[in-house]
Structure 1
Amino acid sequence: MFQKSTAYTFLVLAAILSVLLVIFRPVPQFNYDFETFFPHQDEDLDFYQNFKSQFENDNDYLLVALGNDTGELLSANFLTKANSIHADVQKLEKVDTVISILNLEQPIIGIFGLRTRKVLDWSDEKSLLKTSSNLDQYRSQLISKDGKSLLLWIKNEQNISKSAGDSLYSSIKAVFKNHEIQPVAIAGKIQTQGDFIKLMQDEFGLFFAGSILLMLFLLVVIFRTWWGVIIPLLVLIIGVAWAFGLLIYLGKPLDLMSIMQPTIFMIVGLSALIHFFTHLIKKLKEAEEKDAAIRAVFKDLVVPVWLTILTTSLGFISLYFTTIPALQDFGWTTGLGVLVMFFAVVMVAPGLLYLFPIKVSAASQKSEKPSILLKVFSWQLKHRKWLRLSFLGITLLCFALGSTLKINGYLLDNLPLDHPIQQDFEYFDEQFGGSNPLEIYLSAGDGAKSLLDFEVLVEIDKVEAKIHELFGEGEAISPLTLVKSINQAQNQGNPQAFTMPSRGQRQRMNRWLEKGLEKADPKVISEDLKSGRISARAPDLGSLKMTELREALNEFVQEEVNADLLQVRWTGTAYLIDKGHKSVTMQMAKGLSIAFLLVAVIAGFLFRSWRISFLVLIPNFIPLIWMLGLMYLLGIEFKLTTAILFTVAFGIAVDDSIHFMSRLKQELMLGKNLIYALKRTFLETGKAIVLTTIVLTAGFGILIFSQFGVTHFTGLLISASMIFALLADLILLPLLLLPLKKMWEQKFKKP
């Protein structure tokens, strides 16, 4: 397969394929949809889909806080300008409704019927003074707690597309610019998606360029020959181009997780090339003829390298068996890209090596002194007992520390704390009761005719009071809100009457409820009046705290709410995301179990021994435990985006074990005893393992500089796990093999 003629044929095919990729260049599409982090095949997700069809999405809105930089918030000039903004935004094509204190009208029920009056009237100074004195009812809802900004709640078209959302957000910003008002803060889906994707595009290009520069630097340091730099760099660029070209042609948009893929593809490809090139240089130093050396190196190493690439790919692909679509997509696309990189290496590298004149300088052919690796090997044989106990002690300590880690994730925890988006969301959390949507589904029990029955409203009032107690003072809208509004209207608009009515007051408002239901926006009750919702906002307290509060509300409902009158169930996007974080242990266990099984099968097939395949897993399980200890020391919590790293780290770390064991098998098959075979394996393969670890650590290390939390933690934790894996493979693995000396020598004894 690796004869010169065959290699040239593959090289020509690779060149044709690359030219076609340039001519028919695929156009990448960037996308960010946080709903891909919902756990699919889940009854709560199915319930939410039905909920949306009955009511509406709970996140199709934009929050805008407007403040007066030049004076008081409640000044006639500012309110007139803000009202113009309100009207212009309402006219935009994809805007459904705009709600603010500026257009809010209070219904008044008198002896002459129903009339309305403006909650805030600034037509003259007297009206402004009179109406502004009654605005405490709307604090933390439509007016900030500190009274320095007012809220525009912009409800956009349901299920708005990414492109339409970008266009709408640009139009809204243009309205602000035309009126020369800069919002104090903006938060919402169409804003966050657009800003996320812009940041993703910037980081994708930055890390792609950074990865190329890093690979160039590492190649210069490692090989120090022009051909040892140019050939691998060409192979890596071609491999990455093929991988992304294939993924884009398959219709896969680039998302938040895709930022890491150029770096992953390059360092996996370079790791494979290092194994080929270090062995090639060794043969050339031994004065072996160039063509024969190339042919022998690729023939001997293609199977071990293929197995390491396969295990890395399977480590990523195992994420497909989780229930989170974002992880599934990242898993199969990265796994496929890694395989494409391998085929680029074997199709392009041999042909280029045959094509270019390569040689090893005379200086490099001088006899070498005993290597550091030889000293390390001798040292670890002398201290084998102490080393085994050290590994055991550190592992147990890390496991104990890691077992105390909490599962906790935030809606925007992929962004740094000082990012403008984070600051805007924090402003709404502090001043308007929250930016995180809360949705609770209500249904009438068997003992009630509708949610508007007086007895049912009493139960809803209990639930709302508990929500305010647990989650703060954010606005809550429900069927009870409509009843309270009519009760206030029946009392001449008195803010003190915005409360749960008495039984008699409730009976007198039936005729007005029908009219109120027709105009209710957002929709809070079904047409048959048997189901509804409590829609509120709360600060993003993290999945751990939110789960505790939700459980507290559930306990309150079970103990204090009459289930025969009212049924309560949590739903909504925030609930589903928090549930995704909560399922992190199951997701990680599922991914790791599949990865362990696949690697065990490969190792068992390679060495024809399940005992050996078990030993191969031990030094690759230890880095994962040590990662737990590192997370504890650094204060990194479990969440979806950190849990997947254990599967990824295992898939990459196992490569060195397979290289080590493959070489050991070759040495034993030559009839050498185990200790001598271990020594030769340690010296020959150890150098390549050290070099690949340096490449992997540096390659993933560059991701530490990302602003996205998932990318930053991937760089930090995977880099650390590669160092842990190096120690386990070169220090612990040989010591685990020594007690099986008789079994090894008997198994590979020459006839």
Structure 2
Amino acid sequence: MSELASLRKRRRLTLLAFGLASIFIFSGFIYGPTGTDRTAFSLVGNDTWDAAALANVEMSWNNHDVTLFIGPEWDTEGGNVLAFPVLRELAERHDTVMGDYETSKHFAPIYQWQVQGHTRGPWGFAETVRAVMNQETPVSQQIGWNGSDFNSSTQEELDDVLSRLFSYQLPDGSKPYFQSVSYLEQQEDGSWDGRAFFIWGIANTSSLFGKQGEYSRTPGMEKPFIEEWELLIDEVYVKPMSDTGEEVHVWSFLGLDTQVDDQVNKTIPLIGVSFVLMAIILGLFFRDWRDVLAAASGLGLLMGWMVGTQAWLGYPQTQISSMLPILLLALGVDFSFHGLVRWRAIAHRDGGDEEVRLAAAWTSIRELSPALGLATVTTMIAFGTASFSPIQDLAEWGRLAAIFIPQAYLLLGIFTVVLRSGHAVHSGEIQKGFADRMRALGAVQVRKPIPFLIALLLLTGSAVAIGQPDSDFEVHDYLDGNSRMVQSLDTSILAFDESDQGEPGFILVQAGDSSDLADYNTLVQLDGLMADIRANNWTYDTPTIIDAIRMQIALVNAGGGGYNATTINATTGIPEDSNELQKILVDISANGTMNPNDPRFTAAVEGVATAVESVAPIAVIDGTSGRLSMLKLPIKVEKAGDWAWMAQYKVDVEQLMDENLNFTNGEKATFTGVSYQRYVYVNAMTDSFQKSIYIAIVACLAVLYIVFRDIRLSLLTITPVVAVSLWLYAGINLAGQSLNIVTLQVASLAIGLGLDYAIHVTQAIREQKRRRPDEGMARWVQGMMGHTGT
């Protein structure tokens, strides 16, 4: 067989092998595992995260919250949410939701103090006003309302009933209805104006995603995801309210994971745009459609291989993994650039006939394999170190990157060159004028290195002085600013006053394996802690299980049913005998309790829990023995978006815990909540990213030394990468940005590609030295700066 025939056969077999590999990888779309999606964020193994997760499981209300609010229309000053057309429209939307059996059947009844009775479905101030005006609640008689019903009443009658509700006063002087509407004001004509109020309902978790439930709690399972049900509700409330004549809108906190997935899906067109831009850049550089077609074919296959590989592994698309295609496009263009430029130079130099072109492909691959191979290994290490992160999304990102990077080398460093070698080549050096200017710059750097060195040191020193940016959680970094979730969050900040802002957190207290929190000394310590928390205004004043014990004692003393304790401490109001505590807790667990001194609950049906509607959300009680194994102390996290404030607040709360608590039987108290789950998650994310970068630099230095066998060359290659990372962090700081998913991935991209470029420079100079051992550094650098290494 002739040399030409052998080379042709080798090319065909190589392309066939890539074709078969592509078919296998693409089959992952059909045969890859399914049902592996999960919620957007998770940090199992962290005490703060695990405490909140444990509370969600063990202290579930057996209900799923549905939270909406009406407030200003987006980008407006807002209107009056108490205008009669607004209230009537909201009531109609409530009826629409409840009129759809598939939606309404999952709502659970809940006691609403506003109407002193049970309600179902999304409930807000509009529904309360309707119930009062329609004589459907004891409140109608309590405020002396005997006017027209909701649908036939006049504006004057609405003003009257609102005035009666807002003047309703409790024995402690508070006005609960007045506090239900944000920025409430009465106008000179007697009408009322408000900026916002919440609409809230609960659904039964057993009906929704229990064993026999209709939905799944996590996405990607056989049953539809729970958020599909949430969005059925949101579709009703999201409609514009322009017909009311007020600039108001209903916002919601529903469908978070779905909106995160939407953001991931929106990156797919960006990948296509990046691909087109890369192809245009290649076209402008190579000025030959055959080069562009070969490189674009390799890049297109790489995109397919990545998606197919991810399908085989069963890894879901996440906000982090969706950034990988853009990273690999950049790396792939670099690989294809080196391969095609070297191939063109060799093929054109040796005549350019078919045999020369085919042989030049393998010569190019062989000559570049040390540089491209080393760049592949070190870049794999740089990104693969994230595989050991405790954050699942980040660990998967590291594993996928470690797989995708060698795929990029195979497709862009080998396949693209082999594919291109089957077509004619017309010129050797590309963009000769630009190459000559780069060679001249290289010569200047060798002749006058001091100015360049001074500039490098000044930039690096300045970057060190500027320092590293802080990490925080800014929702706009994770979701589109125009998404419903972000606009709802932004609007809530404007719509509600500071007393309604912030997020609920809690201290989770767990009993030891053989201990019981239903112990007088333990409860007194916890009650003292709660007293200090209330004194600091660190709570929404939600009742605790200790408050419920006092309520139950007062209820029994007022003639209600239940155990009558005899060892009540006169100072604390808590029984000193543990057996009596357990008997009271059994009563509360079975029947709930209520405050007999609160008029909002005096009309409640006997046996209905009111102030503590269900004890499940605040304590875990054995219904037989009365053992108290877990409880919550409610905390208000007022500035949940201020990372520095949250860090100090956590220190302050934990210091207060240390001052008040002295557990001796294995009890454990943990400050946690949704806001602090985010806090520890984002901190763990940034810490993992940064640690992986540091580990990657050390590991890459070791690999470079093994390959180069020269510590000076190894340090020379890695030093620019360290400098780039310092510059990048300083730039992020100067731009007023924080360390988050986006900026850290940009940093990883810059460091990964920077390492790739540094290796090319070092390897190219070594190659020039081998080619021209009698020349000096100036000529070696000039050769390195040229596109073809000549």
- TM-score > 0.5 by shorter chain: yes
2:647 pairs with 1:547: yes
CA distance in 2, matches of 1:667, 1:635: 43
1:138-194 deviation digits (Å, cap 9, x = unpaired):
579865464542330435637822242232113323554899999622114xx1111
* Equivalent in the alignment of 1:390: 455
Verify the 8 A CA contact 2:62 2:204 in the aligned structure 1: no
Verify the 8 A CA contact 1:8 1:351 in the aligned structure 2: no
* Equivalent in the alignment of 2:231: 170
How far residue 402 of structure 1 moved from its aligned partner, in angstroms, is 1.2
Unaligned runs of 5+ in 2: 72-78, 119-127, 146-160, 185-193, 210-215, 559-568, 593-613, 622-626
2:345 pairs with 1:345: no
Verify the 8 A CA contact 2:298 2:416 in the aligned structure 1: yes
RMSD, aligned α-carbons: 4.5
2:342 pairs with 1:282: no
Unaligned runs of 5+ in 1: 107-116, 493-500, 690-751
CA distance in 1, matches of 2:520, 2:177: 29
Evaluate the alpha carbon distance shift between residue 227 and residue 325 of structure 1 in structure 2; reply closer, same or farther with a 3 A threshold.
Answer: same
* Equivalent in the alignment of 2:630: 531
1:609 to 690, 710, 722: 710
Residue 482 of structure 1 aligns to a residue in which SS? helix
* Equivalent in the alignment of 2:507: 440
CA distance in 1, matches of 2:181, 2:519: 29
How far residue 621 of structure 1 moved from its aligned partner, in angstroms, is 0.8
* Equivalent in the alignment of 1:298: 365
What letter matches 1:396 in structure 2? G
2:198 to 139, 150, 158: 150
How far residue 310 of structure 1 moved from its aligned partner, in angstroms, is 2.2
How many residues were matched structurally?
663
1:229 to 284, 288, 292: 292
2:306 to 240, 243, 250: 243
Evaluate the alpha carbon distance shift between residue 468 and residue 314 of structure 1 in structure 2; reply closer, same or farther with a 3 A threshold.
Answer: farther
2:259 pairs with 1:160: no
* Equivalent in the alignment of 1:34: 40
* Equivalent in the alignment of 1:709: none
CA distance in 2, matches of 1:187, 1:486: 35
* Equivalent in the alignment of 2:753: 652
2:542 to 476, 484, 492: 476
Evaluate the alpha carbon distance shift between residue 640 and residue 31 of structure 1 in structure 2; reply closer, same or farther with a 3 A threshold.
Answer: same
What letter matches 1:234 in structure 2? S
Verify the 8 A CA contact 1:478 1:524 in the aligned structure 2: yes
Aligned pairs (5 A) from 1:554-703: 554-560=654-660, 568-583=669-684, 586-639=687-740, 642-643=743-744, 645-670=746-771, 672-673=773-774, 675-676=776-777, 679-685=779-785, 687=787
Verify the 8 A CA contact 2:69 2:252 in the aligned structure 1: yes
* Equivalent in the alignment of 1:8: 12
What letter matches 1:414 in structure 2? Y
CA distance in 1, matches of 2:699, 2:63: 40
Evaluate the alpha carbon distance shift between residue 120 and residue 426 of structure 1 in structure 2; reply closer, same or farther with a 3 A threshold.
Answer: farther
Verify the 8 A CA contact 1:620 1:650 in the aligned structure 2: yes
Verify the 8 A CA contact 2:379 2:756 in the aligned structure 1: yes
CA distance in 2, matches of 1:282, 1:196: 48
* Equivalent in the alignment of 1:313: 380
Evaluate the alpha carbon distance shift between residue 217 and residue 468 of structure 1 in structure 2; reply closer, same or farther with a 3 A threshold.
Answer: farther
Residue 526 of structure 1 aligns to a residue in which SS? strand
How far residue 526 of structure 1 moved from its aligned partner, in angstroms, is 1.8
* Equivalent in the alignment of 1:746: none
Residue 427 of structure 2 aligns to a residue in which SS? coil
Residue 533 of structure 1 aligns to a residue in which SS? strand
CA distance in 2, matches of 1:582, 1:538: 17
Residue 619 of structure 2 aligns to a residue in which SS? coil
Residue 198 of structure 2 aligns to a residue in which SS? strand
What letter matches 2:9 in structure 1? S
Range with bigger deviation, 425-434 or 601-610 = 425-434
Residue 371 of structure 1 aligns to a residue in which SS? helix
CA distance in 1, matches of 2:522, 2:465: 52
How far residue 349 of structure 1 moved from its aligned partner, in angstroms, is 1.9
How far residue 210 of structure 1 moved from its aligned partner, in angstroms, is 0.5
Evaluate the alpha carbon distance shift between residue 458 and residue 41 of structure 1 in structure 2; reply closer, same or farther with a 3 A threshold.
Answer: closer
* Equivalent in the alignment of 2:466: 401
* Equivalent in the alignment of 1:730: none
Verify the 8 A CA contact 1:100 1:153 in the aligned structure 2: no
CA distance in 2, matches of 1:177, 1:643: 35
Verify the 8 A CA contact 1:88 1:175 in the aligned structure 2: no
What letter matches 2:464 in structure 1? F
Residue 358 of structure 1 aligns to a residue in which SS? coil
CA distance in 2, matches of 1:442, 1:73: 46
Evaluate the alpha carbon distance shift between residue 366 and residue 153 of structure 1 in structure 2; reply closer, same or farther with a 3 A threshold.
Answer: closer
2:195 pairs with 1:123: no
CA distance in 2, matches of 1:277, 1:328: 34
Evaluate the alpha carbon distance shift between residue 583 and residue 166 of structure 1 in structure 2; reply closer, same or farther with a 3 A threshold.
Answer: closer
CA distance in 1, matches of 2:671, 2:678: 12
Verify the 8 A CA contact 1:35 1:573 in the aligned structure 2: no
CA distance in 1, matches of 2:335, 2:178: 58
Sequence identity percentage: 13
CA distance in 2, matches of 1:169, 1:275: 52
1:196 to 260, 279, 282: 260
CA distance in 2, matches of 1:154, 1:536: 22
* Equivalent in the alignment of 2:487: 423
2:334 pairs with 1:271: yes
The higher radius of gyration belongs to: 2
CA distance in 1, matches of 2:537, 2:746: 34
2:64 pairs with 1:64: no
